[in-house]
Amino acid sequence: MGFPQIRMRRLRSRVALRQMVQETRLSPTDFVMPLFVCPGQDVRREISSMPEQYQWSVDRIAEKAQEIAEVGVPAVLLFGIPESKDALGTRAYAEDAVVCRTVEKIKTRCPSLIVITDVCLCEYTDHGHCGVIKTDPSGRPYVDNDATLELLAREALAYARAGADIVAPSDMMDGRVGVIRKQLDENGFHHVAIMAYSAKYASAFYGPFREAADSAPQFGDRTQYQMDPPNLREALREIALDIEEGADIVMVKPALAYLDVIRAASDRFDIPLAAYQVSGEYAMVKAAAARGWLDEKRVGLEILTAIRRAGAKIIITYWAEKATEWLNTNSG
């Protein structure tokens, strides 16, 4: 039976009908809000390439986290900018590290908020790479995978001791999930979950983040350890290995240009799947909206819906707070 008996437009004629048959629904409970914490006092510094996003000092970030929780966003993801940097990123895993102090303040002020901590060395090393730098016989520098694992495990343990609910290794070193899981378990942190950046691509969409986190590499790039954008099957192997090593949540990053990877991972694996809508995805929409070329709210919700429709249950997005307000307004 075809037209005119079948008319697909019948269920599109009114808002209530469209909502009744909606196949994919966004909820504030899907969102995680990234936050950047920096040294100093009373700092709220806007990130020039990411309008309406800020670097916060430790004394102010807990207040912001409480605002996020009160809007209805259930979780934050913390990135730290240290007071000083060195070759081994020692300020990443010091007991008084900026992220550790932030976790303690947030958990004291709003204990119900889920606190996730990014685990990587790039923000903390003076060379800007995600691990320990060695030199091969030809004099070429490279990131030593195995030498980096112990430092990542120490960083994750420091955050767990501070009260983090979830640690999120983003470095893309082979084997790091297993090493971190072992370190946490041996120290009594069986309850702390691991959200692995399992399929993290060497993407051009990260540019604004490197300003936000002061983490640009001082030489070369990160293609030695981050994934090659053309590869999908490799992403599925990476995810499978992280699950085998003990990841509780796996992630695809970035989101918008990798919706096919999100869908393939969602179809393949029976485990919570996150996607990171990264800084460049956010910044390009903000730039177009500022020029009147796009409607930020409509485009933002459309992109977030696409990520959800592709199969991501957890969406890390700089729109988390604003998108929650948009959804609440729409439902009202």
CATH for 233: 3.20.20.70
Is residue 20 domain-resident?
no
Residue 64 in any domain: the answer is yes
Assess if residue 257 is contained within a domain. Answer: yes
Is residue 314 within 8 Å of 272, Cβ to Cβ? yes
57 has which bridge partners? Answer: 38
Q: DSSP string spanning 39-67?
A: SSSS-EEEETTEEEEEEEEHHHHHHHHHH
At residue 203, the pLDDT reads 96
The H-or-E segment that residue 101 falls in is helix 98-109
Instruction: Give the DSSP letter of residue 258.
Output: G
- Classify strands 50-57 and 44-47 as parallel, antiparallel or unpaired: antiparallel
CA distance 140 to 128: 16
- Start-to-end CA distance of the chain, whole Å, equals 39
User: pLDDT tens across 125-148, in order?
Assistant: 999 899 999 999 998 999 999 999
Residue span of the structural domain in which 313 resides: 25-331
Digit-coded pLDDT (tens) for 213-222: 777 888 878 8
Asked whether residue 163 carries a pLDDT value surpassing 90, the answer given is: yes
Domain count, the chain: 1
Residues 6+ apart with CB under 8 A from 56: 35, 36, 37, 38, 43, 44, 64
The strand pair at 75-80 and 31-38 is best described as parallel
Which pLDDT band holds residue 212 (cuts at 50, 70, 90)?
A: confident
Tell me, what's the pLDDT at 220? 76
Residues 6+ apart with CB under 8 A from 73: 28, 31, 32, 33, 320, 321, 324
Q: Print burial letters for 101-132: b (CB count within 10 Å at least 16), e (below 16).
A: bbbbbbbeebeebebbbbbbbbbbbebbbbbb
The residues annotated as belonging to the active site are 200, 253
105 inside domain: yes
pLDDT digit string, tens, across residues 9-68: 999 999 999 989 999 999 999 999 999 999 999 999 999 999 999 999 999 999 999 999
Query: Does position 1 have pLDDT exceeding 80, yes or no?
Result: no
Residue pLDDT, tens place only, 147-156: 999 999 999 9
User: Does residue 238 lie within any of the structural domains?
Assistant: yes
The CA distance from 269 to 273, in Å, is 9
- Give me the chain's average pLDDT, please: 95
pLDDT of residue 154: 97
Residue 53 domain-assigned (yes or no) = yes
* Across 214-241, average pLDDT: 91
Is there a domain that residue 8 lies in? no
Note the pLDDT of residue 256.
Answer: 97
Closest alpha carbon to 328 in 301, 303, 308, 309: 301
What percentage of the chain carries pLDDT values higher than 90? 90
Query: For residue 215, what is the DSSP state?
Result: -
Kindly tell me the burial class for residue 205, based on how many C-beta atoms sit within 10 Å of its own C-beta (0-12, 13-18, 19 or more).
Answer: buried
Secondary structure (3-state) at 249: strand
Q: In this structure, is residue 15 part of a structural domain? A: no
pTM more than 0.85? yes
